[in-house]
């Protein structure tokens, strides 16, 4: 159960090695926290073990559990097994995803479809499994890491952007469907984030860091918001971009 | 069966909402409703005046027991009343006071049910002499998890009787209760007020003088610091006799018709109670209080339930809600109390209603909150920056001193803190589990604080 300050006792991070996801877990850490589940493809990987070691403390238990976003058939059972380990799910953070390179996708359509399966299809199946659980327990928060890339899809990364556009719409609809149940969805729309996922890429304007995204996310969770842009200025920027005529939009140097 | 509604429920502090099926029930259909409870169990809820999640059961069944004070049976010879658990103290007083009787214990609001009063083992301004609500319960009839109705009293199934008092509703659904009533000559109270210039002063006054009064409590200006730290208004009183009422009071001496004077609008966009407004209010209230005044006549509502005059006052804290922090610090650990007050005062957290009360002896209940010592109660907006970390820090001060949290007020602490504060928790759990092996009785508070083997 979350307490009156919105401090969770249990956190599940889907995409357990995500820089942003781990930053959110750290930001949610408090005296109330007792169990964190890192859901990763390979629990034995050095990366996963390091992430777990970084969070473990005498008061916080950390479990690393095998989860594969593309195996939609396993998602309901996976959520059941998480509940068997930690009990009620207070906060679930959906942070898995692949960015990929547009030029590579252009050359390999099957690879593009696989990326979309992770970013969108996998998010749909596990998102619905989480929502069913939250509805059943009458409380809990699902945090979905969307992206401004889905807000108006650009030619430079339209496979990724379109998968995030789908995810964003799904997450909003899921949140609305939980209205009145006590459970809630928070959609997080970060801009360019300096992280392992974007290492080596040129930063877009209004770039940010995992810690800043985490700070904004937790603030939004506590205030009960349904969406949060980070940095906040992007809400304004994209409300302009969204309505820009295509002829103009295509000429913008958006990278 | 009556129709079921899915409801989002919260406590009086309006934090940590959860969704549950809320079902109005009565004595005759409650057992059937419990039999049909989902895996996440069932819980009785009174008027929702617990501040945190005590009366919530996310994903489960929440039962609202009908209450009719008209069915209360007053036995004047035995000085007791038998009343349905769903009846409020408000309704009961409207029956009792005109007949010259009063409830043995009332909290700071009359909008609590008798069932809730037992489950939280509530206390009032007379604890130092007369103990908590449980001290005045003669018998309880309760629906058990197996569907049977048990008759409990201090001699019959004493362990379950005392586990139910302060048991947070997790031993069964309390159906009706017989409690002591106390005779009163008038519906007025006679009140002495003293201003105390700091914390030591008020504690000394209470230690030396409380026992001369049936009722005693101090209001602390928690926003005062430095040499004013802990400055207080101590208010102590007794039910007025007819003689004390004098001749200038016309109208029947036992007249009782309290009302809600004003209400906070249903939606307040941001907290109206902040550092600036609370500090100004506290300073003004303190200065307005007399240095020393004796024999002031007040109505029952003015003296016992002043906040009830403002309807929905909890909504003045805005959408984020507020947290009530109530802890016990045992006798001999006054330094810990001083540290808590100091830390709160210097933090500048806007506490609007801060109360200090000296407790008397504890009762035999394993989870009863009061014990010899001091209890400090404050309200703070939940959105206050740094509040969560500060309260966790204060928890350690209180627990290190052998103190504890009042579960009916709690909305933030941890299973570990409850284990430390209530050394008889395991004893209570054993009694509870013996009458509820399947875990039918569940609550958000029970899950959060590890009181029960939670059903997920």
Q: What is the pLDDT of residues A107-116, one digit of tens each?
A: 999 999 999 9
Tokens at B119, concatenated: 């489950």
Q: What is the mean pLDDT of chain A?
A: 95
CATH, residue A165: 3.40.50.720
B286-310 pLDDT, tens per residue? Answer: 777 788 889 999 999 999 998 888 8
- Which pLDDT tens digit goes with each residue over A126-150? 999 999 999 999 999 999 999 999 9
CB contact under 8 A, A182 and B392: no
Domain that holds residue A110: 10-249
Indicate the range of A94-103, B189-198, B283-292 predicted with least confidence: B283-292
Q: Give the pLDDT score at B308.
A: 87
pLDDT at B3: 47
User: Quick one: closest CA in A to B52, which residue?
Assistant: A4
Lowest-confidence segment of A127-136, B57-66, B242-251, B329-338 by average pLDDT = B242-251
Total number of domains in chain A: 1
Closest CA to A220 of A13, A12, A55, A27: A27
Q: What are phi and psi of B210, to 5 degrees?
A: -55, -40
What's the whole-number mean pLDDT along residues A155-170?
96
- Window from A10-14, B312-316, B412-416 with minimum mean pLDDT: B312-316
What's the mean pLDDT in B364-389? 94
Gap between the Cα atoms of B256 and B90, Å rounded: 11
Which is more confident, B321 or A92? Answer: A92
Mean of pLDDT values over B310-332: 90
Which residues fall within 8 angstroms of residue A215, CB to CB, at 6 or more apart? A27
Answer yes or no: is A2 within a domain. Answer: no
Rounded distance, CA A255 to CA A204, Å?
A: 7
Q: Is residue B369 within 8 Å of residue B123, measured between CB atoms?
A: yes
The Cα–Cα gap between A121 and A126 comes to: 9
Please indicate, yes or no, if residue A255 is contained in any of the structural domains: no
**Does the beta carbon of A183 lie under 8 angstroms from any beta carbon of chain B?**
yes
Q: Is residue B138 over pLDDT 80?
A: yes
Q: What is the mean pLDDT of the segment spanning A80-102?
A: 97
Residue of A96, A105, A160, A229 with catalytic role: A160
Name the token pair of A7: 């401090």
Positive or negative torsion for Cα B316, B317, B318, B319: negative
> Among this protein's residues, is A120 annotated catalytic?
no
pLDDT tens figures, B55-75: 999 999 999 999 999 999 999
pLDDT in tens, A51-68: 999 999 999 999 999 999
Nearest alpha-carbon partner for A144 in A116, A115, A181, A173: A173
d(CA B372, CA B358): 8
Rounded Cα distance, B316 and B433, in Å: 40
Whether A180 and B383 lie within 8 Å, measured CB to CB: no
B188-414 to CATH, choices 3.40.50, 1.10.3470, 3.40.462, 1.20.1050:
3.40.462
**pLDDT on residue B95:** 96
Among A4, A6, A138, select the one facing B52 at the smallest CB separation: A4
Taking CB atoms and an 8 Å limit, are B411 and A3 in contact across chains?
A: yes
A137 touches chain B (CB under 8 A): yes
User: For position B248, what pLDDT does the model report?
Assistant: 64
Number of H helices, E strands in chain A: 10, 7
Best mutation site among A3, A28, A32 for testing chain B: the one with the most B CBs within 10 Å?
Answer: A3
Using a CB–CB cutoff of 8 Å, tell me whether B13 touches chain A. yes
CB B231 within 8 A of CB B196: yes
Are the beta carbons of A45 and A67 closer than 8 angstroms? no
Cβ–Cβ of A30/B388 closer than 8 Å? Answer: yes
Tell me what the mean pLDDT of segment B148-161 comes to: 97
Name the residue among A171, A213, A170 with its Cα closest to residue A192.
A213
């Amino acid at each position: 159960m979350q307490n009156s300050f919105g401090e969770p006792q249990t956190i599940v991070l889907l995409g357990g090695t995500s820089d942003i996801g781990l930053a959110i877990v750290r930001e949610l850490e408090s005296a109330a926290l007792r169990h964190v589940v890192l859901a990763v493809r390979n629990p034995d990987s050095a990366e996963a073990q390091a992430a777990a070691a970084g969070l473990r403390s005498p008061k916080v238990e950390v479990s690393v559990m095998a989860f594969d976003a593309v195996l939609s058939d396993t998602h309901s059972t996976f959520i059941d097994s998480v509940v068997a380990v930690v009990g009620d799910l207070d906060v679930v953070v959906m942070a898995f995803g692949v960015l990929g390179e547009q030029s590579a996708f252009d050359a390999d359509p099957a690879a593009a479809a696989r990326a979309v399966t992770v970013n969108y299809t996998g998010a749909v199946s596990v998102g619905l499994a989480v929502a069913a659980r939250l509805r059943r327990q009458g409380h809990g928060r699902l945090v979905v890491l969307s992206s401004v890339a889905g807000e108006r899809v650009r030619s430079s990364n339209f496979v990724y952007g379109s998968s995030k556009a789908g995810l964003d719409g799904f997450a909003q609809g899921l949140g609305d469907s939980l209205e009145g149940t006590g459970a809630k969805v928070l959609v997080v729309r970060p801009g360019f984030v300096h992280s392992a996922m974007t290492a080596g890429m040129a930063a877009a304007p209004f770039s940010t860091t995992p810690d800043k995204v985490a700070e904004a996310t937790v603030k939004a969770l506590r205030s009960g918001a349904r969406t949060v842009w980070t940095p906040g200025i992007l809400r304004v920027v994209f409300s302009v971009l969204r309505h820009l005529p295509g002829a103009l939009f295509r000429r913008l140097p958006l990278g | 069966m009556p129709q079921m509604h899915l409801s989002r429920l919260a406590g009086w502090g309006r934090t940590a909402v959860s969704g549950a099926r809320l079902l109005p029930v009565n004595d005759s259909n409650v057992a059937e409703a419990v039999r049909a409870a989902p895996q996440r169990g069932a819980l009785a809820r009174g008027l929702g005046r617990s501040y945190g999640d005590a009366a919530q059961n996310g994903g489960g069944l929440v039962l609202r027991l009908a209450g009719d004070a008209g069915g209360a049976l007053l036995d004047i010879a035995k000085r007791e009343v038998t009343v349905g658990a769903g009846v409020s103290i408000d309704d009961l007083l409207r029956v009792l006071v005109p007949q010259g009787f009063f409830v043995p214990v009332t909290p700071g609001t009359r909008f609590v049910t008798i069932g809730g009063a037992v489950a939280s083992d509530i206390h009032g301004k007379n604890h130092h002499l007369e103990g908590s609500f449980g001290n005045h319960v003669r018998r309880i009839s309760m629906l058990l998890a197996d569907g049977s109705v048990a008759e409990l009293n201090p001699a019959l199934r004493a362990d379950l009787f005392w586990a139910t008092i302060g048991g947070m509703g997790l031993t069964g659904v309390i159906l009706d209760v017989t409690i002591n009533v106390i005779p009163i000559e008038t519906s007025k109270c006679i009140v002495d007020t003293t201003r105390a210039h700091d914390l030591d002063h008020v504690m000394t006054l209470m230690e030396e003088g409380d026992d001369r009064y049936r009722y005693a409590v101090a209001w602390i200006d928690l926003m005062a610091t430095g040499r004013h730290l802990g400055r207080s208004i101590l208010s102590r009183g007794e039910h007025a006799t007819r003689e004390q009422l004098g001749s200038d009071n016309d109208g029947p001496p036992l007249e009782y018709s309290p009302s809600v004077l004003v209400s906070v609008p249903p939606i307040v966009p941001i907290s109206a109670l902040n550092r600036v407004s609370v500090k100004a209010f506290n300073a003004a209230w303190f200065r307005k209080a007399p240095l020393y005044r004796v024999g002031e006549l007040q109505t029952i509502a003015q003296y016992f339930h002043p906040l009830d005059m403002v309807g929905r006052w909890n909504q003045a804290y805005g959408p984020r809600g507020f947290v009530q922090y109530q802890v016990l610090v045992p006798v001999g650990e006054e330094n810990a109390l001083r540290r808590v007050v100091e830390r709160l005062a210097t933090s500048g957290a806007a506490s609007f209603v801060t109360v200090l009360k000296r407790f008397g002896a504890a009762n035999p209940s394993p989870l009863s909150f009061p014990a010899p010592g001091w209890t400090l109660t404050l309200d703070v907006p939940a959105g206050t920056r740094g509040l969560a970390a500060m309260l966790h820090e204060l928890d350690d001060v209180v627990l290190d001193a052998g103190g504890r949290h009042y579960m009916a007020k709690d909305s933030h602490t941890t299973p570990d803190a409850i284990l430390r504060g209530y050394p008889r928790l395991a004893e209570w759990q054993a009694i509870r589990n013996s009458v509820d092996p399947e875990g039918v009785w569940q609550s958000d508070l029970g899950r959060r604080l590890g009181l029960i083997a939670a059903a997920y």
